[in-house]
Structure 1
């Protein structure tokens, strides 16, 4: 589907360039058709470009979210390991008696 959209956008751009390079139009009807065709193609190219940009934005956001999740998991794992090392289940007083919470 993406490849088809790219090809369609390329065809629209080629047609826009062709319309821009026309030297003269014999009558008003042809000029009106030219203007209508030109504006329609401009709108289609704009829509295709916006769709493409939105897709790129979504893919980039997804990629960065994935990286964020990976780092969050890593930091959480480090925090758990440190907490387990620093955990004091009991303390001995001066007489050697075990004190607990």
Structure 2
């Protein structure tokens, strides 16, 4: 994730926030951007910032470890039943012959 603030004039700025799509999907992008703006406006209005409690990622990993792995495997085997081969992605021909 990369964040930049660029000064474009005496009192004007551009805020550039870029990230790889694997880092944030549409669901979490909404949450992260919402929290960023909530924080920004709290600072602008000189009010106390109140954010929702955050669950550590380690708790999610612990939850995953407690799941029934045999049941999870059955679920995915059933879900993908009938698929005969992998999905083939289109390839781009390179001009240099590689």
TM-score for the superposition, normalised by structure 2: 0.25
TM-score for the superposition, normalised by structure 1: 0.25
Higher helix proportion (structure 1 or 2): 1
Higher strand proportion (structure 1 or 2): 2
Using CA pairs under 8 Å that are at least 6 residues apart, name the structure with larger relative contact order, 1 or 2. 1
